[in-house]
A and B are shown apart, each in its own frame.
Chain A
Amino acid sequence: MQLFLHSQGSGEAEIVTVEDTALARTLIAEGTDHRIWIVEQEEEVQLDITFTEAGIHHHHHVHRGHCHRLHADVRFMTDHGTEHKQDDVRPVATIGEVLDWAVGDEGFNLPVDKRPDYVLALPGAKEYLAADVRVITLVNEECTVHLDLLPKDHFGG
């Protein structure tokens, strides 16, 4: 079966092919302290059970890294200058979840009708981050990712 593997710091997902009867440990390189997580369970996946026993099936999203919590540091330009806010998220979190927090009451508390007009990007990047990008693929060894909250493009005539 094929899995979508989101590895810490890799920048993007990869497709890996495994046997469903193989141990989850198959995804962990020897000598690393990596763990794996799936969205359906709070705790990390046990490594010495099979993928089937772990509830991991074809085209499942699997998140791999050493960070049990991921720290998102979001920068936003306001009328008062640059502000930062931080959030801690699970290893399975998506950019969409961080964006919802960043524009919401606990983040920069943007007006409700303006919230859909904002996106997240890596500082200096050439494109926005899609909502389905996994945060774990963006964090550094210290489990942190720095993000910019930016207004979305609106194409005019």
Chain B
Amino acid sequence: MTDVASPDEQVLRAHLESAAFQIGLADGSWRLESLTWPYAVITVAAAPRTGAAPGEFSIRFELRGYPETAPTGCIWEVGSNAPLPGPRRPKGADGQILQLFRDNWMDGMALYAPFDRVALVDHGTAWADQWPMSKWTRDRDLVFVLRHIHDELNSVGYVGI
């Protein structure tokens, strides 16, 4: 008997075929490392910087209930299949990148942003409503999250690790 993908997985797979995701792939903004439901590991390009500054970072997304439920992401070390340790997480001059990838909240297992499920549950709707342009809604897709992450990693604020 053939396994039939669950509705949430089917939606995610359709979104990975969208022009928006494929353009990011073709332009080198991100690439799909693996998809083992409900996890997808996606590597996002970062701007070149002098010194200790990786040119890319991976995020492991947990996508149960997608897109009715927001994804949650953890900055990830693909080789060891584990969260990236704090000292090797991206740092920024303006604090926004530090916040997004902070390791002193939820054990560093989620993205500190209103498009991340864990942050939404932890802080509540009123917190997320402060940023209507960035908060997750069911009509968003994973590209919305990837664009936010890519934008931060390619902003002038990104200084490396």
Contact with A along B123-161 (1 / 0, CB 8 A): 000000001111001001000100100010001110000
A residues less than 8 Å from B24 (CB atoms): 132
B residues contacting the other copy or chain, number (CB 8 A):
28
Contact B131 A116 (CB under 8 A): no
Q: Which residue of B is nearest A134, CB measured?
A: B23
The CA of A59 and the CA of B27, in the complex, are separated in Å by 9
Contact B157 A116 (CB under 8 A): yes
The CA of A14 and the CA of B99, in the complex, are separated in Å by 34
Answer yes or no: A12 CB below 8 A from chain B CBs.
yes
Q: Could you show 8 A-B contacts with beta carbons less than 8 Å apart?
A: A2-B22, A4-B22, A13-B23, A116-B155, A127-B134, A127-B140, A131-B151, A155-B134
The CA of A127 and the CA of B94, in the complex, are separated in Å by 22
The CA of A15 and the CA of B26, in the complex, are separated in Å by 12
Contact A126 B132 (CB under 8 A): yes
A residues contacting the other copy or chain, number (CB 8 A):
23
Contact B157 A12 (CB under 8 A): no
Q: Assuming the A-B contacts A13-B20, A116-B157, A155-B114, are A127 and B96 also in contact, with contact meaning beta carbons closer than 8 angstroms in the complex? A: no
Contact with B along A46-75 (1 / 0, CB 8 A): 000000000000010100000000000000
Main secondary structure of the interface of A (DSSP, over half): loop
Answer yes or no: B57 CB below 8 A from chain A CBs.
no
Contact B151 A12 (CB under 8 A): no
Answer yes or no: B19 CB below 8 A from chain A CBs.
yes
Contact A127 B151 (CB under 8 A): no
Q: Which residues of B contact A (CB under 8 A)?
A: 19-20, 22-24, 26-27, 29, 94-96, 99-100, 112-114, 131-134, 137, 140, 144, 147, 151, 155-157
Answer yes or no: A101 CB below 8 A from chain B CBs.
no
- Shortest 10 CB-CB contacts between residues of A and residues of B: A59-B26, A153-B131, A13-B19, A153-B134, A116-B156, A130-B147, A15-B19, A127-B133, A14-B19, A116-B155
B residues less than 8 Å from A59 (CB atoms): 22, 26
B residues less than 8 Å from A12 (CB atoms): 19-20
Contact B99 A4 (CB under 8 A): no
Answer yes or no: A108 CB below 8 A from chain B CBs.
no
Q: Which residue of B is nearest A113, CB measured?
A: B156
B residues less than 8 Å from A117 (CB atoms): 94
